[in-house]
Structure 1
Amino acid sequence: MLSTFENAALEAGRKIIEIFRAGCAVSTKADATPVTLADHEAEIIILAHLSRDFPDIPVIAEESVAAGHVPDIAGRPFFLVDPLDGTREFVDKRKEFTVNIAYIENGVPLAGIVYAPALGVAFVGESGSAEKLHVGDDFTVDRREKIAVRDEPEHRLALASRCHNSPATDSFLKKHAISECTNIGSSLKFCLLAEGKADVYPRFTRTMEWDTAAGDAVLRAAGGTTLTLDGEPLGYGKPGDPDFVNPDFISWGSRKRALQRA
């Protein structure tokens, strides 16, 4: 499955970078979020790969959902796709945008890829194993390295959303005596936890399931966890929720935290 994810993400990333360099118009969706040609073109590419290799698995993809195309996933495994996570970064010519693809079974993200084409890196995770991929200018993988979360250090580093910080986040950092906080866009926050470069990512503003599933899959494969505020693992494809909105959550890179569900 990850080979399909890689091929789809790399091809989508190539198209995104082509549009990134050429420039494109920006539109606003009904939920007031931005969307570009790159979002649509990347989603078309990803859906083609998934439908060819896994024709029986439904796909929940951001732009398709915005257009009213929502397949029935009740009681079924499914894919979650965000073809361009971090559209605001893309529009502002920052390089932190990503391509996200995840596989969900029984509400759990079991496999995923997060690819940052402008940074030349991707992160993949499946079955308790995670890797960082170094991607060349020709959009092929040059090198792979195993990654894992780190033991929680005395001075913890938190990650916060560049565009969606909140007073609740500031309160959490103070309460937990977080010594440092770095702002970064898109699902790369999960990946920094997964490769042991940070310790916690609290999110108390709105996110969608396709925003988080791929990064969460990578983090869990690397030994971390994502918990809701009641201490339960963040679930996907929640029954009775047609909007795919996540509750507030905290992602931890520490294995100790994952075991304690703290």
Structure 2
Amino acid sequence: MAPMGIRLSPLGVGVFCLLGVGVIYHLYSGVISSHLAAFRSDSALTTRQRRTVDLRDLLAVSVEAAVLGGKEVKTVRDENNLKETSKGKTREGASEPLTMGDIQSHRKMFNLLRNTFPEITVNSEEHDNVVDKVTWSHDIPADILDKIEAGKEVPAESVTVWIDPLDATQEYTENLVKYVTTMVCVAVDGKPVIGVIHQPFTGFTAWAIVGQGSNMRPRSSYSISPPKVIVSRSHSGKVKSYIQDAFGNSTTMITAGGAGYKVLSLLEMPSSETASTDQADVYVHITFIKKWDICAGAALLSALGGHMTTLKGEDIDYSSTPLNKGGLVASVGVEHKAVLERLPNWDPEKN
């Protein structure tokens, strides 16, 4: 008798194949799922590791960036290689010059900050497509190590950095270099927390972290009856009559370049810098001004118990658009509210 064979119907073959494919798919998908889970876990870990930044590190990098930019500013001015052009005019009709000092300082400052903290937002007054591979030295100045604790971390997505690669460009072109500064400000959730103001032509750097410390301090005395008021020499608008209406015709007005310089004029400077820096009691600006001009000064004053607000006393948000339309009044060592109460009603958008 011939051996009996096993015959599979087409339907049986189909079912068998489907079962096999199902088993293989199940096994394969399990492997893929485990790999995806591991990948997501690693990615989440990496994201968590990069989502916070240490404020002391941010301060150290900000100081290094300001100093590095300042060296470019000084070199261009010393070599008389300004190659001056114009960015246009302000609302008040004043020219806005642009020099190689602005550009080269921007390249160093912007790229150092972005290369060190690629996950944070950096806003600069200037714009340039040149990529500089400059890296942070990881050196933390001794005075920062002495006064500022490590481990104060903030979410990276809450950080906005404002840099001014060359404040007082108009004065820079006129060789009035005492007014020139480079500035870095770190805002967290729109509030200025770190301020750095560097003077390239003296080498002095003022810095502060709100709530932690500073290398600056207020002077021992101030007056607002009447005060010495420091104002812009190139974007003044109708500030003279405004100040006289506020504090009287006998009020002393100091005209100066650079918002950074004006903030330093409110503070006690080291003895070696005092002779080259004006001393004022209040800083007032009644026209539009950009946030990279004022954020560092706002942080510095806030760290020392001072204030920088709009003319109406409103806080300025440093997480939004670059333009501050509310003017500003800055003080330290006096009652800010008392200064605000003396100011006439004024709308910079209508004047």
TM-score of the superposed pair, with normalisation by structure 2: 0.62
Q: Partner of 1:201 in structure 2? A: 283
Partners of 2:240 and 2:85 lie apart in 1 by: 29
Percent of counterpart pairs with the same letter? Answer: 23
**Corresponding letter in the other structure for 1:25:** K
Residues 250 and 57 from structure 1, CA distance in 2 versus in 1: closer, same or farther, beyond 3 angstroms? same
SS of residue matched to 1:33 = strand
Counterpart selection for 1:118 from 182, 197, 201: 201
**Corresponding letter in the other structure for 1:158:** V
> What's the CA shift for 1:150?
4.8
**Corresponding letter in the other structure for 2:73:** I
SS of residue matched to 2:265 = helix
**Corresponding letter in the other structure for 1:227:** T
Q: Partner of 1:143 in structure 2? A: none
1:4 aligns with 2:61: yes
Residues 172 and 45 from structure 1, CA distance in 2 versus in 1: closer, same or farther, beyond 3 angstroms? same
Alpha carbons 1:150, 1:255 under 8 Å: kept: no
**Corresponding letter in the other structure for 2:176:** R
**Corresponding letter in the other structure for 1:22:** E
> What's the CA shift for 1:59?
0.4
Residues 49 and 251 from structure 1, CA distance in 2 versus in 1: closer, same or farther, beyond 3 angstroms? same
1:39 aligns with 2:110: no
Partners of 1:5 and 1:39 lie apart in 2 by: 17
Alpha carbons 1:234, 1:249 under 8 Å: kept: no
SS of residue matched to 2:158 = coil
Alpha carbons 2:190, 2:317 under 8 Å: kept: yes
Counterpart selection for 1:79 from 154, 157, 161: 161
Superposed CA RMSD = 2.4
Query: Within 5 A, what are the aligned runs for 1:41-190?
Result: 41-64=104-127, 76-95=158-177, 96-128=179-211, 129-131=213-215, 146-148=216-218, 150-153=220-223, 154-177=225-248, 179-186=251-258, 187-190=260-263
Residues 130 and 184 from structure 1, CA distance in 2 versus in 1: closer, same or farther, beyond 3 angstroms? farther
Partners of 2:191 and 2:86 lie apart in 1 by: 31
Alpha carbons 2:210, 2:300 under 8 Å: kept: no
> What's the CA shift for 1:174?
3.6
TM-score of the superposed pair, with normalisation by structure 1: 0.81
**Corresponding letter in the other structure for 1:181:** M
Residues 233 and 255 from structure 1, CA distance in 2 versus in 1: closer, same or farther, beyond 3 angstroms? farther
Which structure dedicates a bigger proportion of its chain to helix? 2
Q: In structure 2, list runs of 5 or more residues that go unmatched.
A: 1-57, 90-94, 130-156, 270-278, 342-351
- Tell me the number of residue pairs that the alignment of Structure 1 and Structure 2 aligns: 237
Which structure dedicates a bigger proportion of its chain to strand? 1
Greater mean deviation of Cα atoms: 12-21 or 48-57: 48-57
Q: Partner of 1:247 in structure 2? A: 326
> What's the CA shift for 1:46?
0.7
Higher RCO by CA contacts (8 Å cutoff, separation 6 or greater): 1
Partners of 1:26 and 1:111 lie apart in 2 by: 31
SS of residue matched to 2:69 = helix
> What's the CA shift for 1:155?
4.4
